Amino acid sequence: MKRFVTAFLLLTVCLCGNTYAEEREGFGVGVILGEPTGVSLKKWMGNTNAIDAGIAWSFSGDNSFHLHGDYLVHNFELVSVAEAPGQLPVYFGIGGRVKFDDKDDNTFGVRVPIGIAYMPAGAPIDFFGEIVPVLDLIPDSDFDMNAAIGARFYF
């Protein structure tokens, strides 16, 4: 556990260093495909910070319904986009997940999303890919991993 906390703190320092200063705005709605699959929502809270949420289903194993929400921090300088116009921020965050399954084995856990997004210049959309370690805490401690790709349109 001590190694996980140390690695998370180092990642936080690296990603929060220099950030892109353009004002972000809008509310994004889209799709997330993977584990789980469903609707993705995102609201920018400033230049580099956002909150996201998902309403999704898992069709593997126990056919569960997921609700999750995360606070995200984006770094726009780690990866530069030389050829294509747009931005490629790396992001990470922390949040929670509630999972309801067919067997009434409902769980609550902590999510740590890590991902990358492509934001084309002049277009109100983004495309993203992420991996999300999940530590379920209730009713029992268990480790899970989610991964997905998706896209959102901003209003």
Specify the number of domains making up the chain: 1
The residue assigned the tokens 């770094």 is 75
- CATH number of the structural domain spanning residue 83: 2.40.160.20
Q: Can you list the alpha helix ranges (DSSP code H) found in 16-87?
A: none
* 49 in Cβ contact with 75 (< 8 Å): no
User: What is the per-residue pLDDT across 94-107, written as a single tens digit (0 to 9) for each?
Assistant: 999 999 987 778 99
What is the identity of the amino acid at 131?
I
Write down the pLDDT at residue 8. 40
pLDDT bucket at 3, cuts 50 / 70 / 90: very low
Phi, psi of 21 (to 5 degrees): -105, 15
Structural domain of residue 89, as residue ranges? 2-154
Confidence (pTM): 0.81
